[in-house]
């Protein structure tokens, strides 16, 4: 049965290929116009775009996007193969270069990061957050360049910036970028600074930097800007709104939301640059994702707004509870007026997020004892899942780091990092309460 709708979907599927499909938004049943961020799409709510954004009706009428488990794509004729390789005809060729399931994930995240901004962008899905960061850095920096960033970056990012880049004659300049006049002095005095790399909020003290102010300075001194938006997600914060050129995510965290796949994405405002040299570099480096992980990511993102609302509500409740607990010396949560970056976070984020950290008065022994008493909450190091996760950097991620080094990053012996989950809030607080009992 070849209906007109079938013809329409099938032709968009076979003839337009990755680059057109990426910005399309077709729902055959409701006949929605194409792109939710820039067109006259009837979708005005964030969650509607999270659910429907990027979806293309499958020509075989599957409701959900299929997992395209195919390494290559066939050509109708040798001439078509020639046109595809020549770039004269768009279409899938080889899954390292693009795959329909990955395209849907890319289009959904791009729609969310550009939601109601009236701008274009392009996202390229990667095998991990680190792969996306590697593509970003290698695409934009060359020997002799310098990169400006701040303390408290994600561990892997810190490794690549401080250990890998220097081997390529790219020098890191790390400073406290909450100090805007220091940031300006550095940019003004060093013409070799090529990129400003930000991560906000950042580990483990939930430090935030001012995206609008720093991007304004970067534009003035002609630096490329990039922001790791993993902790916030596009629901809480849209870095493009503040003038950021590139966004990276570890989709492993809140975007996937269920801890089922590693993934990352690099998004850029300059679509020609993204479609040209950056796509080429990504294809050559080979850090591509795969259709199964992309499928899991797509399913996870549909509930992002609902999850983030609950994560943030629970985090605020937990922060309030911990702030008044006698065993706790300090709570780091940007939702609390006591956090040094409270005002910056409130200015650029919808809610303060799911992540917080707190310091036990009893130090290392209390940290270990508390972790061992947890019953429902989970002892692990990642974040972004539905369940509440706690980690103790001093005995886990940062066990082998010298104490003086740890303190530079705000990691004290009694510090606990928490990803507040979406469980019932009474149950979360009850578990923390019983685990804190011996240390009160």
Ligand X SMILES: *Cc1c(COP(=O)(O)O)cnc(C)c1O
Of positions 26, 107, 262, 415, contacts ligand X by CB under 6 A = 262
Task: For ligand X, give the closer residue by CB, 57 or 230.
Answer: 230
Smallest distance from ligand X to CB 414, Å: 22
Smallest distance from ligand X to CB 282, Å: 15
CB 321 within 8 A of CB 429: yes
Q: Is the dihedral of CA 347, 44, 266, 188 positive or negative?
A: negative
Task: For ligand X, give the closer residue by CB, 128 or 332.
Answer: 128
Ranked by CB distance to ligand X, the top (closest) residue is: 129
Smallest distance from ligand X to CB 310, Å: 20
Smallest distance from ligand X to CB 211, Å: 15
Task: For ligand X, give the closer residue by CB, 231 or 240.
Answer: 231
Binding pattern to ligand X, positions 147-166, x when CB under 6 A? -------x-xx---------
Task: For ligand X, give the closer residue by CB, 92 or 246.
Answer: 246
Q: Is 129 in the site for ligand X (CB under 6 A)?
A: yes
Smallest distance from ligand X to CB 361, Å: 28
Task: For ligand X, give the closer residue by CB, 56 or 232.
Answer: 232
Of the candidate spans 21-29, 52-60, 123-131, 329-337, the one that interacts with ligand X by CB under 6 A turns out to be: 123-131
Smallest distance from ligand X to CB 130, Å: 4
Buried b (16+ CB within 10 A) or exposed e, 287-304: bbbbbebbbbbbbbbbbb
Task: For ligand X, give the closer residue by CB, 129 or 367.
Answer: 129
Three-class SS of the chain: CCCHHHHHHHHHHHHHHHHHHHHCCCCCCCCCCCCCCCCCCCCCCHHHHHHHCCCCCCCCCCCCCCCCCCCECCCCCHHHHHHHHHCCCCCCCECCCCCHHHHHHHHHHHHHHCCCCCCCCEEEEECCHHHHHHHHHHHHCCCCCEEEECCCCCHHHHHHHHHHHHHCCCEEEECCCCCHHHHHHHHHHCCCEEEEEEECCECCCCECCCHHHHHHHHHHCCCEEEEECCCCHHHHCCHHHHCCCEEEEECCCCCCCCCCCCCEEEEECCHHHHHHHHHHHHHHHCCECCHHHHHHHHHHHCCHHHHHHHHHHHHHHHHHHHHCCCCEEEEECCCCCCCCCHHHHHHHCCCCCCEEEEEECCHHHHHHHHHHHCCCCEECCCCCCCCCEEECCCCCCCCCCCHHHHHHCCCCCCEEEEECCCCCHHHHHHHHHHHHHHHC
How many chain residues bind ligand X (CB under 6 A)? 15
CB 117 within 8 A of CB 227: no
Task: For ligand X, give the closer residue by CB, 35 or 199.
Answer: 199
CB 332 within 8 A of CB 206: yes
Binding pattern to ligand X, positions 239-258, x when CB under 6 A? -----------x-xx-----
Q: Is 57 in the site for ligand X (CB under 6 A)?
A: no
Smallest distance from ligand X to CB 5, Å: 38
Q: Is 396 in the site for ligand X (CB under 6 A)?
A: no
Structure tokens of 170? Answer: 């790219």
Of the candidate spans 5-13, 77-85, 127-135, 181-189, the one that interacts with ligand X by CB under 6 A turns out to be: 127-135
CB 161 within 8 A of CB 172: yes
Q: How far apart are CA 169 and CA 159, in angstroms?
A: 15
Binding pattern to ligand X, positions 6-25, x when CB under 6 A? --------------------
Contacts with ligand X in 193-232 (CB under 6 A)?
199, 228, 230-231
Task: For ligand X, give the closer residue by CB, 55 or 249.
Answer: 249
Smallest distance from ligand X to CB 392, Å: 17
Of positions 98, 264, 353, 393, contacts ligand X by CB under 6 A = 264
Of the candidate spans 64-72, 109-117, 126-134, 339-347, the one that interacts with ligand X by CB under 6 A turns out to be: 126-134
Q: Is 130 in the site for ligand X (CB under 6 A)?
A: yes
Of positions 23, 37, 103, 128, contacts ligand X by CB under 6 A = 128
Task: For ligand X, give the closer residue by CB, 99 or 251.
Answer: 251
Which residues sit at the interface with ligand X, rule CB under 6 A? 128-130, 154, 156-157, 199, 228, 230-231, 250, 252-253, 262, 264
């Amino acid at each position: 049965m070849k209906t007109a709708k079938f013809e329409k979907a099938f032709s968009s599927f076979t003839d337009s290929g990755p680059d057109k499909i990426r910005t399309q938004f077709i729902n055959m049943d409701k006949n929605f116009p194409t792109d939710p961020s820039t067109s006259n799409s009837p979708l005005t709510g964030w969650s509607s775009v999270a659910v429907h954004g990027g979806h293309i009706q499958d020509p075989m009428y599957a409701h959900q996007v299929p997992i395209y488990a195919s390494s290559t794509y066939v050509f109708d004729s040798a001439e078509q193969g020639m046109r595809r390789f020549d770039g004269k005809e768009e279409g899938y060729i080889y899954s390292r270069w693009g795959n329909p399931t990955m395209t849907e994930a890319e289009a959904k995240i791009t729609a969310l990061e550009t939601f109601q901004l009236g701008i274009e962008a392009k996202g390229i899905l990667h095998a991990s957050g680190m792969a996306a960061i590697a593509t970003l850095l290698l695409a934009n920096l060359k020997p002799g360049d310098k990169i400006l960033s701040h303390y408290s970056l994600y561990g892997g990012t810190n490794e690549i910036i401080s250990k890998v880049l220097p081997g390529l004659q790219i020098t890191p300049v790390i400073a406290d970028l909450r100090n805007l006049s220091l940031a300006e002095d550095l940019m003004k005095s060093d013409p070799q600074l090529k990129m400003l790399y930000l991560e906000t909020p950042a580990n483990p003290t939930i430090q935030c930097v001012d995206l609008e102010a720093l991007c304004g300075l970067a534009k003035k001194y002609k630096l490329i800007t990039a922001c790791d938006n993993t902790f916030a997600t596009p629901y809480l914060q849209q870095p493009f709104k503040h003038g950021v050129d590139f966004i990276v995510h570890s989709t492993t965290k809140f975007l996937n939301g269920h801890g089922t796949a590693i993934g990352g994405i690099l998004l850029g405002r300059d679509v020609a640059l993204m479609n040209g040299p950056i796509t080429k570099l990504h294809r050559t480096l080979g850090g591509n994702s795969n259709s199964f992980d992309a499928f899991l990511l797509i399913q996870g993102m549909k509930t992002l707004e609902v999850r983030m609302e609950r994560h943030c509500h629970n985090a605020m409740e937990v922060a309030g509870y911990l702030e008044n607990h006698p065993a706790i010396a300090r709570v780091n949560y940007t939702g609390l007026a006591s956090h040094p970056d409270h005002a910056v976070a409130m200015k650029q984020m919808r809610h303060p997020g799911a992540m917080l950290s707190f310091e036990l008065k009893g130090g290392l022994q209390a940290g270990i004892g508390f972790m061992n008493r947890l019953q429902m909450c989970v002892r692990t190091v990642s974040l972004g899942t539905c369940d509440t996760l706690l980690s103790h950097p001093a005995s886990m991620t940062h066990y082998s780091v010298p104490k003086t080094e740890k303190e530079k990053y705000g990691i004290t012996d009694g510090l606990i990092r928490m990803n507040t989950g979406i469980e019932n809030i009474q149950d979360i607080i009850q578990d923390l309460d019983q685990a804190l009992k011996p240390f009160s």
